[in-house]
Structure 1
Amino acid sequence: MNDEICVIVAAMNAERTVARAVASALREEAVREVVVVDDASEDATAHEAWGADDGSGRLKVLRAQKNLGPAAARNLAIARSRAPRIAILDADDVILPGRFAALADAAGDWDMSADNMMFVSEEQAEAYTHLAAFATGGIAERMSFARFVAANISQAGRPRGELGFLKPVMRRAFLDRHGLRYDPSLRLGEDFDLYARMLLAGARFRLVAACGYLAIERADSLSARHAAADLAALVEADDRMLAGHLSPDEREVLLQHRTQCAQRWHHRHFLDAKQKSGLVRALYENRDRPRLLLDAGLGVARDKLALLRPARLPGKSDAAGEPRFLIAPSPVP
């Protein structure tokens, strides 16, 4: 059946959460396969993933002998699966009951179909894990490349809500027809990069007015700190897209995204150099890179301003204990 789905879980050192993620995928009727890639974990990730097996024969657990990173691990799972649609599930997260049924009607002629995401803290996870997928109000929209990239540019004073966090159901035939896979050089922004390249290849991407994905934020998340090399690789990925055929509007918004990524890269590079060699040495070593020093200075200023505001994880629930959404839901009539 064309609506059958493979759920892919790339997991590293996720023994505490991977069984919950796998179980949430297996309970969905549309799921033909769940493929877990244990990305050279040093804990019992693979064992815990198998512990969630429901005996239906749909679960497969692959073991990488060396760490591949999320992009390459997902590519491995895509290669070892067959279902016509592919959905990504992070090992920390949960598919809400009925998610794929809620997306099914919208998926017919779409190459990518995504819904909203609800973010909660680990402490709140149990209270929301069995909540059924639900309508969020508003209307579905078709995503353009320019709209998608613009929604991945952070703005000061706004909680992070980049649409690169989305977990769409993707049509395997479209990926195969255009030779598209995750870029294995990326360990940051690999989702954004793939979705953007799919849109440039003509993918029909629909954002549905529903929520069926529960993202659980933890303070020790692997994505909490980005290495300079990871940020540099994301800049290079933007450069590759900029070298292609883009409309003026597409080029302008992608240049904005690249500029922001480069600023973060320069900031992280300078802080690493300062930690390694001290402030004076870091300034001296980068004396011929005024753009880097300017971006680093701006980054330091932002960090100091952030210290004056209460800390909050991306998407984490507020002080009142209410969850947050990637996209603010519209009032339901």
Structure 2
Amino acid sequence: MALSDVTHPDVSVVIPAWNAAGFIQKAIDSALSQEGVQVEVIVIDDASEDHTVDIVKDYQNERVVLIQAEENSGPGAARNLGFAAARGDWIAVLDSDDYFLPGRLSNLLNKADKTVDILIDPVVEQPYGRKECVPFFKQGELPVDELTLAHLISTNLIFTHIKSTGYLKPVFRRRFLQEKGVTYWPEVRIGEDYYFLAACLAHGAKAKMTEKAGYVYTIRSESISRIMRVEDINILLANDGRFLSEFTLGQESSNAQDFRTRNLIRGRDFLKLVRYIKGGQVLKAFKLVFNSPGSSLLLWLPVRKRLLAACRT
């Protein structure tokens, strides 16, 4: 399917898809039905093994563009393909199992001025098959006006009560991305959205927050939930090191990064501790607790989870 010759779009909606036949139509329809803005929808099929491609091809709509990757390379690589093909003034990422609420894009663009490079709204959650949506963030958990790099770093932690801003789905000014040369790290499959947004902010992007939620994050029972492993945290620490090698942070962001690093190391030690306990490696467990006492405090987490579940029943 070739790029269309429709009126120059205000927003390019980029949808990376892999085996998304069961739900991608809702995502595409939610983007096409946005009122008050010219939209093109770019679907990047990441070598799906189902009939995702057939569903996209069935759209007899010049605003829908299909790009087929030659091999499965992950969401970051797929988004890079979509971003490169985008023609809109703004680019919005939409996961194939999520959808936009009516008016989302026009509400965001109405808040933009010449100084704004990124537009962000809160997200809501919706269990698959249900109608009700629940705010992901509670009141006061998001900044009121602008998302800074320091705030982004300090709210992307593990094993804490802090809601991760990595779940936000920003809309980016395409000209800014082109001028700064910001792309996804294609080999990164853990936290790819975090590093992309962090790179934008490190390049000096102004990210404006808005109040009205417009992005629905769908929770499906068959979704593959990532269970954090020691190896995953090692990857995050390595990617953080890469990020720090590419950017010089201000004092506030640097302090936030130091806090994040300590948090990741503590989380890694906790997972090692659990591994040692389950494996009956008592001496290694005691040694780890001695060297990293904070890791043992996280043993309270599974107990707390069970207590909360019991209180709900």
**By the TM > 0.5 criterion, same fold?**
yes
What's 1:94 paired with?
99
Q: Is the 8 A contact 2:100 2:216 kept in 1?
A: yes
- Deviation readout 1:28-84 (Å, 9 max, x if unpaired): 242432111222222222223334x2x331112222232211111111111222222
What's 1:302 paired with?
301
Residue 158 (structure 2) pairs with residue 151 (structure 1): no
CA distance in 2, matches of 1:85, 1:283: 56
What's 1:40 paired with?
47
- Gap regions ≥5 residues in structure 2: 1-6, 134-138
* Match 1:72 to one of 77, 80, 87: 77
The alignment-based identity, stated in percent, is 28
TM-score, normalization by structure 2: 0.81
Cα distance 1:220–1:283, how it changes in 2: closer, same or farther (>3 A)? farther
Greater than 4 Å deviation, 4+ residue runs: 136-140, 265-275, 286-301
- Gap regions ≥5 residues in structure 1: 129-135, 312-318, 320-333
Residue correspondence of structure 1 range 227-242 to structure 2 within 5 A: 227-242=229-244
Cα distance 1:72–1:272, how it changes in 2: closer, same or farther (>3 A)? farther
What's 1:13 paired with?
19
- Deviation readout 1:134-155 (Å, 9 max, x if unpaired): xx99995022211222233357
Q: Is the 8 A contact 2:99 2:217 kept in 1?
A: yes
Amino acid in structure 1 at the alignment position of 2:186: P
Residue correspondence of structure 1 range 168-247 to structure 2 within 5 A: 168-243=170-245, 244-247=247-250
Cα distance 1:239–1:215, how it changes in 2: closer, same or farther (>3 A)? same
CA distance in 1, matches of 2:48, 2:222: 16
Amino acid in structure 2 at the alignment position of 1:308: L
* Match 1:252 to one of 237, 251, 255: 255
TM-score, normalization by structure 1: 0.76
How much does 1:295 deviate? 7.2
How much does 1:227 deviate? 4.9
- Deviation readout 1:103-140 (Å, 9 max, x if unpaired): 11212321000111111211314x66xxxxxxx99995
* Match 2:145 to one of 115, 122, 141: 141
CA distance in 2, matches of 1:273, 1:39: 38
Cα distance 1:201–1:8, how it changes in 2: closer, same or farther (>3 A)? same
Residue correspondence of structure 1 range 279-298 to structure 2 within 5 A: 279-280=280-281, 297=296
